[in-house]
Structure 1
Amino acid sequence: MASMTSRLRNTLRHYSTILSPNSTTPLTSKEKSRSALRLLKSETNPETILSICRAASLSPDSHLDRLALSTAVSKLTAGKNFDVLRQFLDELLQSRSDLQNERFVSHAIVLYGQANMMNQALDTFKFMRENLNIVASAKSLNALLFAAILAKNHKEVTRIYLNFPRIYDIKPDVETYNLVIKSFAESGLSNSVFSILDEMDRSNVKPNVVTINNAISGFYNEKKFDEVGKLLNLMEERYKLYPSLSTYNVRIQSLCKLKRSNEAKALFQGMITSGRKPNSVSYYHLMNGFCREGNLEEAKGLFADMKKRGFKVDGQCYFTLVYFLCEGDEFEWALDIAKECIAKGWVPNFTTMKKLVNGLVGVSKVDDAKELIKEIKEKFAEKSDRWDEIEAGLSPPQE
């Protein structure tokens, strides 16, 4: 009996980890990833973050693992734990043979870019070639370019683009050129797009929809509206590339960012007239644009039309509309939208909901405010503590 008890204890010790402290059975790979991602979202201690990642044996082959790694890097960066981050990625590269390949090295490079650690990203590229004997391809080149974009180091993007293909004998692909165009678009150098297109022609690399979208975004950012038309004509005439739905959405979003939502709506309607069906993204950009311009009637109309036509309305649409309705003191409208949102299992952030509750009290809708808090506490029990004090203090405005 004593021997059996000892074996049971050993089993419990074997299966209990930081990912599942009470588990008596081993976790599957996917369960480990899910547990790691959940724990990382609320963890701030750098050593615990590393322990979680190690226990999950994360790999870039899994989407969940990529999310977990990105979350870990965000947490370590926010806490300025750069040495810990470098230690962790170096450890993975040097100790796990399954990660000693260009795919993981490229992922590590991007993670360094996310942490604004470009020197380490470049060192990792060199380590891959010199210590792992991996021949660099466009994949790792593109990872370096993307890392520099994430770090907002656009001069480094240009340096890598101009020098690395020659030094390391790498042939750029369409993604390489798209990343360079994206960098130009973000750094106010969108006119250089046309020289990149000429370079693509010389290298026999055909542009794609992403090429168009990245360039158009840059032209709109710099309010170069004529260049948008010039680019679209060039794409059609030279490459037989015609605007996709994603291209229309980029244009709609760009116009809305410039507070030209009426023009965006005209483009939206023209798209429909020409036979192109919009999607929920098209509606969201327009709705968001009108909200930001204070035109809540247009935003409400788009929201209603979106639902009427059967488009998927995601949480972000609800959150945006509730927030701006509260900003516009339209608390009863905001209440209806919030209730619909909560019924679907989503809830806007605490600040927005607190503003809604206070707004309802301010228009003598105390009972509605209390009912709303009750719904939140019932459906989202983990948030209930934050609402207890607010609920206790609810009272109608003094005359």
Structure 2
Amino acid sequence: MSVLFRLRRCYSSATFILSPNSSSPLTSKQKSRTALRLLKSETNPERILDICRAASLCPDFHLDRRAFFLAVSKLSAAHHFAGIRLFLDDLKSRPYLRHNERFLSHAIVLYGQANMLDDAIRTFTDDLPPPLSVKALNSLLFAAILAKNYKEVSRIYLQFPKAYSIQPNVDTYNTVIRAFAASGSSDSVYSVFAEMDRNSVRPNVTTLNNAIFGFYREEKFEDVGKVMKLMEDKYRVLPALSTYNVRIMSLCRLKRSSEAKALMEGMIDSGRKPDSVTYTSLIHGFSKEGHLDEAKRLFRDMKRRGFLPEGECYFTLVHFLCQGGEFESALEVAKECMEKSWYPNFTTMKSLVNGLAGLSKVDVAKELIKQIKEKFPENGEKWDQIEAGLSQ
């Protein structure tokens, strides 16, 4: 079989899988975009693998990395771990990727995402070319966090730098502090600070944010103040907007939204500006605590100050307004986000439709259903059944 014939057959196969109605070969970018679109709705594991192979995904491109992440997420959810291993091992065997540290580090993270930490460690120890870099070490630590294996995070942190002659950097320590924060072991961050001092590695804002997140999570408020003072006095690391956002989000999660709001007001009084993340955390916090009037006021203030709400902010507010029986207010917010082509999930919209019908606004509810069906025709049958129930 000639090389030209094999290439033509390869192009034909890829084109058929990614774009069955097209006879001309797709460009690399077209393949990536098409693969990402197909993967979003595909659930069959073998079909997912076929799409990835047909697209010839490459870790050097942002779209392809997104496609890798999505494919591994879906294969993991389907418990198709053998397929993940086969796919990534096949990529690792390709000459142009065999010793590509960037790809191998990405593969390590993908294994962690799939909770296949043994494969991540195998990739680190067996596939990466020496000398092993701190970037690869940080990828392995992050993979262990994704796998929620905090015991392995600690083991890798304590053993691998010495075993492989790797000097940890600030990202290494920040990742370890993040793991301690997530695992309820925030007191251990003080030993990490000491290790950073011994290795002359200066903390940064991320170090501060990760540490205070953990202490808030464990409701150790004195340690929050202690770490902030330590950072400012010893390391000259001052709180950034991201630090305020971590504190505000943490307080809201602890149902202390009034304290979080006071923190934002103090921040504004001192000349610092909040952002959409600040407001979204507060809106979620007050909504969850049932203070819907305050949540709505913050939403209006957010827009008045010129901060554009993200989809998640809209969805949160619609959900809790429906939960609180404020269906007319929920409709206003839902219409606003739908104009941006952002639609709350099926359960929230069903609650809104039924709530409007309960207020004798059946025509409004049906018009809403019509819009949703146009956007998501695949759910048309479900909405037909709901609409039929409204007419009874």
Amino acid at match of 2:177: I
Relative to structure 1, is the Cα distance of residues 296 and 169 closer, same or farther in structure 2, using a 3 angstrom cutoff?
Answer: same
Relative to structure 1, is the Cα distance of residues 224 and 56 closer, same or farther in structure 2, using a 3 angstrom cutoff?
Answer: same
**Is 1:299–2:295 an aligned residue pair?**
yes
Find 2:133's aligned residue among 115, 132, 137. Answer: 137
Aligned to 2:154: 158
Report the TM-score when normalising by structure 1: 0.93
* Contact 2:145 2:153 survives alignment (8 Å): yes
1:14, CA displacement in angstroms?
Answer: 6.9
**Is 1:243–2:243 an aligned residue pair?**
no
Find 2:342's aligned residue among 341, 346, 353. Answer: 346
Aligned to 1:4: none
Aligned to 2:89: 90
Report the TM-score when normalising by structure 2: 0.94
Separation of aligned partners in 2, 1:12 and 1:152: 40
SS at match of 1:18: helix
Relative to structure 1, is the Cα distance of residues 375 and 45 closer, same or farther in structure 2, using a 3 angstrom cutoff?
Answer: closer
* Contact 1:70 1:111 survives alignment (8 Å): yes
* Contact 2:205 2:240 survives alignment (8 Å): yes
Amino acid at match of 2:271: G
Separation of aligned partners in 2, 1:210 and 1:33: 33
Amino acid at match of 1:102: E
**Is 1:206–2:202 an aligned residue pair?**
yes
Aligned to 1:6: none
**Is 1:181–2:177 an aligned residue pair?**
yes
* Contact 1:15 1:25 survives alignment (8 Å): no
Find 1:264's aligned residue among 252, 256, 260. Answer: 260
1:38, CA displacement in angstroms?
Answer: 1.2
Aligned to 2:30: 31
Separation of aligned partners in 1, 2:95 and 2:385: 50
The alignment covers a number of residue pairs equal to 385
Runs of 5+ consecutive residues of structure 1 not aligned to the other structure: 1-8
Aligned to 1:254: 250
* Contact 2:75 2:84 survives alignment (8 Å): yes
Structure 1 runs of 4+ aligned residues shifted over 4 Å read 9-15, 379-383
Aligned to 1:43: 42
Separation of aligned partners in 2, 1:112 and 1:283: 35
SS at match of 1:60: coil
Amino acid at match of 2:93: Q
Aligned to 2:273: 277
1:388, CA displacement in angstroms?
Answer: 2.0
Find 1:149's aligned residue among 128, 145, 148. Answer: 145
Separation of aligned partners in 2, 1:143 and 1:379: 39
Query: C-alpha offsets along residues 331-353 of structure 1, whole Å, 9 cap, x if unaligned?
Result: 11111111111112111111110
1:365, CA displacement in angstroms?
Answer: 1.4
1:384, CA displacement in angstroms?
Answer: 3.7
Amino acid at match of 2:134: A
Aligned to 2:17: 18
Deviation larger for 193-202 or 176-185 = 193-202
Across the aligned residues of Structure 1 and Structure 2, the Cα RMSD in angstroms comes to 1.8
Amino acid at match of 1:280: S
Aligned to 1:67: 66
Identity of aligned residues (%): 64
Runs of 5+ consecutive residues of structure 2 not aligned to the other structure: 1-7
Amino acid at match of 2:359: V
Find 1:215's aligned residue among 185, 200, 211. Answer: 211
Separation of aligned partners in 1, 2:263 and 2:157: 35
* Contact 1:342 1:376 survives alignment (8 Å): no
Separation of aligned partners in 2, 1:308 and 1:170: 50
